[in-house]
Structure 1
Amino acid sequence: MAIIKNGVNGTVSGKAGSVVFVSTKTGNYVRSLPRVKKREPTPEQLLSRKRFKIVRSHIGQLKPIINMGYKAYSYPKRAYDVAMSYNLNEALIREEDGFVVDWPKFMIAKGSPNPITSYIMDFDQENQVLLVTWEYDAYLEEKFDTGSYDSFLILYNAADNGGGYPLVMNDLKSSLMSGKQTVEIPKHRKEVTYEVYIFFIESYGGGNTDSLHLGTLKV
């Protein structure tokens, strides 16, 4: 902002628009503001941006699940922020020109240890139904009282190339102790690759288990 001293006939000082008024012993001058040269990002900065971008893209797609799966673990911080931080540090593999996600280490839920010890995935192609059956660690189930927790079976199309179905989950929920869960998968015009996860959550809010990556499913 420019300031006029001693009325309209006085001197002007300060900045107005793209010019600056300067008062010296020899007189008053008007100068153009110096141009700020935009610095090009360093290779390290570009790599950091790639790292952040790849995790943010997946956390954004999975946000409804992240909000459930990180709710208790992240409190009082936002679930989104904690999921970003965790996966940035734990779930990326460095490549020559960037990063790729290490899906077995990528976590869509954080909580008590996931008690599953073994599992089988069986896909009924005719009916487009995936059945997952499992065995669980009885000690962990009793210690964290997770036997009645609802199961969430999540299929994530990371490439989102299946015609609008990046995320599929079960409608009807089974308990951990039931040892099985099904999910119906929409039909696609072309082959789609899903990353398959499961975790268990208390029916009326509260605690949940870590997510477990069950593998990759092509349908």
Structure 2
Amino acid sequence: MATYKKGILGPFSGKVGTVVGANWRGKDILRSLPKKGNSNPSETQLQQRQRFLTASGFLTPMNGVLRKYFGQRNGDQSRLNQAMSYHLKEAVVFNDPDFGIDYSKVLISRGDLTGLQNPTVAAIGGNQLKFNWEDNSGQGDAKTDDTLLVVVYAPTAGLYFTQLETATRVEQVVVVTLPDFFQGLEVYSWLGVTSADHKTAATSSPMAAVTVAA
């Protein structure tokens, strides 16, 4: 890669012959065209691609939550990048012949805020899920007005449901009503908790699978 200040026609972008002109961080640069590969990807490369596609396909519908509550921005690594890195390492599993997701390892939020204590979930009919937990306000940095967020996922249908600010930590219970198209489906869910100002978050808790009842 080379930088240049003046060309025959001044700075340019795009391909000219065997070089590409572009502007990178305020500098005009020239770089050679990449060589075309003439070999087929190896089995390992194909598996890595599939692993990435599995994680990306699962996480993308939750990006709105992840970009707010997953970790802290660290240099050039965004919260979404941190979420992808974590799930590639911890949650993507190989179930021959395909890759899948270990839902018990999934996180919808990650941080240093004190998490929920003994959360549970039950399907109570009417397309509703009832979440309970113990009030641990005052434990560490846990406060009564910390707010809960819920993500529900139905694997067989690829359906997601997200509800933010569902309840406060001190309330110890919240009932979430799912759309009718979740009826009869087995769902996984995750509970997260954030400070009232949304500046800090706790590492979320995975819930047991339940079947949504009419």
Superposition TM-score, scaled by structure 1 size: 0.71
The amino acid that maps onto 2:92 is L
1:81 corresponds in structure 2 to 81
The amino acid that maps onto 2:187 is Y
Contact 2:114 2:202 (C-alpha < 8 Å) held by counterparts: yes
Greater CA radius of gyration, 1 or 2? 1
- For the aligned residues, what is the CA RMSD? 2.7
The amino acid that maps onto 1:132 is F
1:118 corresponds in structure 2 to 118
- Aligned to 1:68, what secondary structure does the other structure show? helix
Change (3 A) 1:210 1:188: same
- Aligned to 2:49, what secondary structure does the other structure show? helix
Give, in angstroms, the shift of residue 170 of structure 1: 3.3
Task: State whether structure 2 residue 189 is matched by structure 1 residue 196.
Answer: yes
Greater than 4 Å deviation, 4+ residue runs: none
Task: State whether structure 2 residue 140 is matched by structure 1 residue 143.
Answer: yes
Contact 1:149 1:176 (C-alpha < 8 Å) held by counterparts: yes
Which runs of no fewer than 5 residues in structure 1 stay unpaired? 1-15, 18-34
Q: 2: CA distance between counterparts of 1:189 and 1:148?
A: 30
* Of 140, 155, 158, the match for 2:152: 155
Change (3 A) 1:59 1:198: same
1:30 corresponds in structure 2 to none
Equivalent pairs counted in the alignment come to: 180
Q: 2: CA distance between counterparts of 1:94 and 1:197?
A: 22
Change (3 A) 1:172 1:81: closer
Contact 2:127 2:183 (C-alpha < 8 Å) held by counterparts: no
Contact 2:192 2:201 (C-alpha < 8 Å) held by counterparts: yes
Change (3 A) 1:100 1:79: same
The amino acid that maps onto 1:187 is D
Change (3 A) 1:114 1:205: closer
Contact 1:109 1:210 (C-alpha < 8 Å) held by counterparts: yes
- Aligned to 2:85, what secondary structure does the other structure show? helix
Task: State whether structure 2 residue 209 is matched by structure 1 residue 209.
Answer: no
Q: Percent identity?
A: 15
Superposition TM-score, scaled by structure 2 size: 0.73
Q: 2: CA distance between counterparts of 1:215 and 1:208?
A: 22
Change (3 A) 1:124 1:135: same
